[in-house]
Amino acid sequence: MRVLLLKEIRGFFSSLTGYIVIIVFLLLNSLFMWVFPGDLNVLDSGYASLDTFFTMAPWIFLFLVPAITMRSFAEEKRSGTLEFLLTKPLTDLQIIVSKFLGGLILVFLSLLPCCIYFWSVSHLGNPPGNLDTGGICGAFIGLFFLAAIYVSIGVFTSALTDNQIVSFIISVLLSFIIYVGFDYLAAIPVLQSYDTYIINLGISEHYKSIS
C-alpha cells in the first residue's frame, strides 16, 4: 500500500498537475485577499482576519480537488493498468485508501504555504498579533476535512467512468450539492419546518461550526 501511495504522489509531481494545483490555489486566494478591491480585500476591509480565505477556499477547492482526483481510477481504466493493479497483493480497500490519501496529501501541501497568510495578517493587526488564533486553527482544520470530503467524492466518481472529464463534471456537481445544495433545499418554503435537519445533511454548516 505504501508503494502505491508513493506512486500516486510521484504521479502528481512528475507532471505539472501537483504544482499547478498548489500555484492556482495560492494565486486565486492571494488575488482576492490582497489585489482585487472590495469587501473581500483584507486591506480594504480594515480588519485583520482570514475570513476571506476561509470563504473563498472551499469554492476554489470545489474545482481544484476534482481536477486532482479525476484521474485516480479513470486513467487506470483508460490505460488498462487497473487489471494489472488488481492482480497485486493488495485488497480493494488498500487501493482505494491509497488513491484517497494521495489526493489528501496534495491538499495538505497546498494548505501549508497558507501559513504565510496567517503571518501577514497577524502583523497587520493593531496591535500586531491581535488575531483569533483558536478560531483560525479551527477553520484550517475544518477546511482540511472539507477538502477530504471533496477528495472522497472525486475518487468515487473517478471509479464510475474511464473518462476524466466526465469524472470531473460529476465530482464538481456532487461536491456542490454536498457543500451548499442542502442549504438551498432548506430554503424552499414547503420544507422550512425541517430546515435545521436538511442543512445538517450538508457540510457547509459543519464547516462553519468547526471554526
Q: What is the DSSP string of 69-109?
A: HTTTTHHHHHHT-HHHHHTSS--HHHHHHHHHHHHHHHHHH
Between 145 and 52, whose confidence is greater?
145
pTM: 0.89
Asked whether residue 128 carries a pLDDT value surpassing 80, the answer given is no
Q: Is the pLDDT of residue 208 over 80?
A: yes
CA torsion 181→183→188→194, rounded to 10°? Answer: 120
Q: What is the pLDDT averaged over residues 114-141?
A: 82
| Other CB atoms within 10 A of residue 139 CB | 20
* Per-residue model confidence as pLDDT tens digits over 70-81: 888 887 777 777
| Whole-angstrom distance, CA of residue 110 vs CA of residue 35 | 20
The model's pLDDT over 79-96, given as tens digits with 9 standing for 90+, comes to 777 767 777 777 888 888
Domain ranges of the chain: 2-210
What length is written for the chain? 211
- 3-state SS of 119-145 is HHHHHHCCCCCCCCHHHHHHHHHHHHH
SS3 48: coil
Higher-confidence position of 74 and 128: 74
With beta carbons less than 8 A apart as the criterion, state whether 153 and 174 touch: yes
